[in-house]
Chain A
Amino acid sequence: MAPLFRNGEVTGSMNKKTSFVKKVRKYWPFYVMAMPACIYFIINNYIPMGGLILAFEKYTIKGGIFGSEKVGLDNFKFLFKSADAWIMTRNTLLYNLAFIILGTFMAVFVAYILHEIRSSLSRKVYQTLILFPGLLSIIIVSYLANALLAGDTGFINMHILQPLGFEPISFYSEQKWWPFIIIFVRLWQMTGTNCILYLANMSAIDPGLYEAASLDGANRRKSFMNITLPCLVPTIITLTILSVGKIFNSDFGLFYQVPMNSGALIDVTQTIDTYVYRGLLNTANMGMSAAACFYQSVVGFVLVMITNAIVRKTSSENAMF
């Protein structure tokens, strides 16, 4: 190795190599520090990608992952052939869009309110209360929802609508309520978790900025719009890009358990994940489920690249890469 350094006639690629070696020599403690994470990612996230080949074959135990019969794109057909293809794609996209927009709005809003609370005790109490739903299993959430919504025994029908003289509502067979219910449950559950990052972000803002602003006569709204929000923009953008990457995935429990798998609601609760589950529950076809995941990941990847490119064009300092 050593002569390569001294002699000037090294090729480009070798140059690269040597500079990498040089870097390792110089910064080896950092490489050692990064090693566990790198190994983790390689084992947990990169090696399993070999399994993507499943999406293109008819998996059998005998053939195993790599030896099974290759069937090209056959496994993908079921995703597009069905009359539901449009419905499930629309639902997945629109719900996720709503989650991203309303979720961000709610998270920032709640974080700001919490941030403005002076007493640190009550701030902690409120924050814990808001965070709590996020720790509940979705099955429990679905039964909480059921306790409210059930037709004969639900709280809303029994104790609100009936005493007021309204006709009871059969929530589990009327589609029109569900876009609201799903979004509400999602926000109720996730706002606490989502606002943590913004809250941390807000407490990192230099208080001097607020002081200066108030000396200049800025009211709360103005200092929020001109100081707090601009400071949060990088975080908002990063989180949005990350969520866009998952826009073709959905929280299975939210769309399957919370509506109690009610057939009448399928038009408004069917997402790609529930479709795959309902279709493959009985047949347990490895190839087709792999194909569905492959499709979701590829679309997610493309969307991340596009969003990032747009961000880079408009405000390059906020782009992720």
Chain B
Amino acid sequence: MKRKVTSAVLAAAMAVSMLAGGSVAKAEASEVEKIKIYVPTSGASEDIDNVMAAVNEITREKIGVEVEFKPFEFGQWFQQYSLFLSGTEDVDIIANYGGYLNAVSQGAAYDLTDLVQEYGQDIIEMEGDFLKSGQIDGVQYAIPIYASYAWTMGIIYRQDVVDELGLTEQVAEVKNLEDWGDILAVVKEKKPDMTPFVTNNGNTAPNFTYGLWDDLGNYYGVLMNGGETTDVVNLFETEEYAELCKVMHDWYEKGYSNKDIQTQTDAFPVLTKNDAAFSTIGQTDFNTAYYQTTTCQKEMGAILLDVPVARTYNNVTYTVMSNTEHAEACMKFLNLWFSDEELGNLISYGIEGEHYVLDENGMGKYLEGKDATTCAYHLGASISNINRIRWESENPEYAELLVESNTNAKKSAGLGFGFDTANVTNEITQLDNVCSKYQIGLESGALDPEKYLPEFNAALKDAGIETVIAEKQKQLDAFLGK
């Protein structure tokens, strides 16, 4: 009994001393600011603690910041993203996929205007004018990663199938969607198990999400022809849109697409991987064939339907939460992450030798016997900037080509404009509902545009699309300093 009591006392004493020790250590480290960052990923992250230890060694020394990454599966991410924005999570930096406007309209994005000038010199130097795509009304809310700004709508297809069917030369001649219809006819005949045309995103997003126009943040009011002029017009009433819908419906009628295309739930890469789909339309630029070959794990090709144009839309941006206490540390970290190659490699690929190795060309690859599913850490390149080594599946000259493409691209008149939806929330709620009724059906070809396009436009008018377009034009004019 006595011994038991003593041991209990000892244990308690130890616990107390550990507590004390812990608090001392904390006090010592208090000069290092700790920040947390949430990102979505499709890659592995089991070994994240080791990688973060390596990351923090660098960041502690260079900027006095410790960072903690919390990766989420994509599916989970999109479900929880709104929740993150509500400010209930203990997080400092948050990634935004498909625009950061909600973060701004909810007041969740920190005003980084001054901080980026003070601590973001490397970012400013690299991004140049494109940094504006993180600004609304002159306020820097988001830091975009240096991604491909110049793109256009295009056709993405199975190159290996084209070669197999002897269509290579004919495909090289394809200039528009009408020409593509002839290719689809051949594929339908010779590859009965393969659907010649599917939508890019299944029914989670409209088929023309990546259009020939600059959509200025949402579908309601766009600049046609990649932003040639500054007139905001109603996309759904344009001849171009009607023409696209007509082609899609024609393909649907001819059986090039599935009868249930409206309820297609799998995205193009999934279907392609399983040899179930031949082609789709989507966002294309200089790197599409490379990129799609990696994602679809088949040899892919791409045909751009127009000249690539640099525009507002940028897929990945980072915003600092407005309720953070470490805004400066966040900015310092983003600047370092986006410019320091060692850090870029660590965060994207992990520790060299443990999670990846370099091949003879200096490109990264998985360790012997490991792949994307068995590797212990590989957040991937899509969350990161270009200051990193190239992965073996990437275009070796990606970084140079990207800079060249972005620098020389035709620029949309609305480049850098961000639409603040605060004044038209009610209209947008209704418009989104109208769109969910017609847009996917029309853009996938399941609905006959002769009948449904006028109905769609009437419903949009009722829901107040003109108010939204007027508001957008007003904001765009103000942005352009008219």
**Footprint of B on A, CB under 8 Å?**
59-64, 74, 77-78, 81-84, 146, 150-152, 170, 172-173, 260-264, 266-267, 270, 275, 278-286, 288
Q: Which of B61-69, B125-133, B258-266, B297-305 contacts A (4 or more CB under 8 A)?
A: B258-266
User: Cβ of B102 and Cβ of A282 under 8 Å apart?
Assistant: yes
Partner of A60, one of B106, B425, B440: B106
Taken together as a complex, chains A and B put the C-alpha atoms of A62 and B428 apart, in Å, by 24
Contacts of A81 in B (CB 8 A): 426, 430
Task: Give chain A nearest CB distance to B463 CB in angstroms.
Answer: 7
Per the 8 Å Cβ criterion, residues 394-449 of B in contact with A are 421, 425-426, 428-430, 432-433, 436-441, 446-447
Partner of A288, one of B108, B421, B425: B425
Task: Give chain A nearest CB distance to B397 CB in angstroms.
Answer: 36
User: Cβ of A61 and Cβ of B441 under 8 Å apart?
Assistant: no
Taken together as a complex, chains A and B put the C-alpha atoms of A282 and B439 apart, in Å, by 15
Taken together as a complex, chains A and B put the C-alpha atoms of A83 and B458 apart, in Å, by 11
Contacts of B425 in A (CB 8 A): 78, 283, 285, 288
User: Cβ of B262 and Cβ of A78 under 8 Å apart?
Assistant: no
Contacts of B102 in A (CB 8 A): 282-284
Partner of A78, one of B87, B106, B430, B440: B430
Partner of B265, one of A62, A260, A267, A270: A260
User: Cβ of B437 and Cβ of A266 under 8 Å apart?
Assistant: yes
User: Cβ of A284 and Cβ of B106 under 8 Å apart?
Assistant: yes
Contact with A along B52-91 (1 / 0, CB 8 A): 0000000000000000000000000000011001110000
Q: Which of B82, B108, B433, B436 has the most CB of A within 10 A?
A: B433
Contacts of A60 in B (CB 8 A): 106-108, 322
Taken together as a complex, chains A and B put the C-alpha atoms of A59 and B105 apart, in Å, by 10
Whether B323 sits at the interface, judged by CB under 8 Å, is yes
User: Cβ of A61 and Cβ of B430 under 8 Å apart?
Assistant: no
Contacts of B433 in A (CB 8 A): 82, 84, 270, 275, 278-279
Taken together as a complex, chains A and B put the C-alpha atoms of A62 and B462 apart, in Å, by 34
User: Cβ of A146 and Cβ of B429 under 8 Å apart?
Assistant: no
Residues of B in contact, count (CB < 8 Å): 40
Taken together as a complex, chains A and B put the C-alpha atoms of A266 and B438 apart, in Å, by 9
User: Cβ of A261 and Cβ of B263 under 8 Å apart?
Assistant: yes
- Counting from the closest, the 8 A-B pairs by CB-CB distance are A60-B107, A61-B87, A151-B259, A260-B263, A279-B429, A284-B82, A266-B437, A82-B430
User: Cβ of B106 and Cβ of A146 under 8 Å apart?
Assistant: no
User: Cβ of A61 and Cβ of B321 under 8 Å apart?
Assistant: yes
From known contacts A63-B107, A286-B86, infer whether A262 and B262 are also in contact, taking CB-CB under 8 Å: yes
Interchain Cβ contacts under 8 Å between A and B, 6 examples = A62-B323, A173-B262, A173-B441, A261-B263, A263-B262, A283-B105
User: Cβ of B432 and Cβ of A279 under 8 Å apart?
Assistant: yes
Contacts of B323 in A (CB 8 A): 61-62
The closest CB in chain B to the CB of A287 belongs to B425
Task: Give chain A nearest CB distance to B217 CB in angstroms.
Answer: 11
Contacts of A78 in B (CB 8 A): 425-426, 429-430
Whether B203 sits at the interface, judged by CB under 8 Å, is yes
User: Cβ of B462 and Cβ of A83 under 8 Å apart?
Assistant: yes
Partner of B259, one of A59, A82, A170, A279: A170
Contacts of A283 in B (CB 8 A): 102, 105, 421, 425, 428-429, 432
User: Cβ of A61 and Cβ of B438 under 8 Å apart?
Assistant: no
Taken together as a complex, chains A and B put the C-alpha atoms of A83 and B434 apart, in Å, by 9
User: Cβ of B258 and Cβ of A77 under 8 Å apart?
Assistant: no
Whether B124 sits at the interface, judged by CB under 8 Å, is no
The closest CB in chain A to the CB of B441 belongs to A263
Taken together as a complex, chains A and B put the C-alpha atoms of A50 and B202 apart, in Å, by 40
User: Cβ of A263 and Cβ of B439 under 8 Å apart?
Assistant: yes
Taken together as a complex, chains A and B put the C-alpha atoms of A173 and B265 apart, in Å, by 15
Contacts of B262 in A (CB 8 A): 172-173, 260, 262-264
User: Cβ of A83 and Cβ of B259 under 8 Å apart?
Assistant: no
Taken together as a complex, chains A and B put the C-alpha atoms of A266 and B446 apart, in Å, by 15
Contacts of B439 in A (CB 8 A): 263
User: Cβ of B108 and Cβ of A61 under 8 Å apart?
Assistant: yes
Contacts of B428 in A (CB 8 A): 282-283
Contacts of A278 in B (CB 8 A): 432-433, 436
From known contacts A61-B86, A170-B259, infer whether A263 and B440 are also in contact, taking CB-CB under 8 Å: yes
Task: Give chain B nearest CB distance to A126 CB in angstroms.
Answer: 34
The closest CB in chain A to the CB of B105 belongs to A283
Contacts of A77 in B (CB 8 A): 426
Taken together as a complex, chains A and B put the C-alpha atoms of A125 and B438 apart, in Å, by 46
Task: Give chain B nearest CB distance to A261 CB in angstroms.
Answer: 6
Task: Give chain B nearest CB distance to A64 CB in angstroms.
Answer: 8
Whether B459 sits at the interface, judged by CB under 8 Å, is yes
From known contacts A59-B106, A61-B87, infer whether A266 and B432 are also in contact, taking CB-CB under 8 Å: no
Contacts of A173 in B (CB 8 A): 262, 441, 446
Taken together as a complex, chains A and B put the C-alpha atoms of A146 and B258 apart, in Å, by 14
User: Cβ of B432 and Cβ of A282 under 8 Å apart?
Assistant: yes
Contacts of A261 in B (CB 8 A): 203, 263, 436
Taken together as a complex, chains A and B put the C-alpha atoms of A77 and B322 apart, in Å, by 28
Contact with A along B162-199 (1 / 0, CB 8 A): 00000000000000000000000000000000000000
The closest CB in chain B to the CB of A260 belongs to B263
Task: Give chain A nearest CB distance to B236 CB in angstroms.
Answer: 14
Contacts of A266 in B (CB 8 A): 436-437
**Given A260-B265, A263-B440, A282-B432, 13 additional A-B pairs, CB 8 A:** A60-B106, A61-B323, A78-B426, A82-B429, A151-B260, A170-B259, A173-B441, A262-B263, A279-B429, A282-B428, A283-B102, A284-B85, A284-B106
The closest CB in chain A to the CB of B436 belongs to A278
The closest CB in chain A to the CB of B458 belongs to A83
Task: Give chain B nearest CB distance to A320 CB in angstroms.
Answer: 36
User: Cβ of A61 and Cβ of B107 under 8 Å apart?
Assistant: yes
User: Cβ of B429 and Cβ of A61 under 8 Å apart?
Assistant: no
Taken together as a complex, chains A and B put the C-alpha atoms of A170 and B433 apart, in Å, by 23
Contacts of A285 in B (CB 8 A): 105-106, 425, 429
User: Cβ of A279 and Cβ of B430 under 8 Å apart?
Assistant: yes
Per the 8 Å Cβ criterion, residues 77-123 of B in contact with A are 81-82, 85-87, 102, 105-108
Per the 8 Å Cβ criterion, residues 243-291 of B in contact with A are 258-260, 262-263, 265
Contacts of A152 in B (CB 8 A): 258-260
Taken together as a complex, chains A and B put the C-alpha atoms of A281 and B431 apart, in Å, by 12
Taken together as a complex, chains A and B put the C-alpha atoms of A286 and B87 apart, in Å, by 11
User: Cβ of B432 and Cβ of A172 under 8 Å apart?
Assistant: no
Contacts of B108 in A (CB 8 A): 60-61
Contacts of B447 in A (CB 8 A): 263-264
Contacts of B105 in A (CB 8 A): 283, 285
Taken together as a complex, chains A and B put the C-alpha atoms of A280 and B459 apart, in Å, by 18
Task: Give chain B nearest CB distance to A160 CB in angstroms.
Answer: 16
Q: Which of B105, B262, B446 has the most CB of A within 10 A?
A: B262
From known contacts A61-B106, A146-B263, A170-B259, infer whether A263 and B321 are also in contact, taking CB-CB under 8 Å: no
Taken together as a complex, chains A and B put the C-alpha atoms of A89 and B335 apart, in Å, by 51
Q: Which of A151, A266, A284 has the most CB of B within 10 A?
A: A284
Contacts of A275 in B (CB 8 A): 433
The closest CB in chain A to the CB of B81 belongs to A284
Task: Give chain B nearest CB distance to A265 CB in angstroms.
Answer: 9
Contacts of B440 in A (CB 8 A): 263
Taken together as a complex, chains A and B put the C-alpha atoms of A270 and B438 apart, in Å, by 13
User: Cβ of B462 and Cβ of A263 under 8 Å apart?
Assistant: no
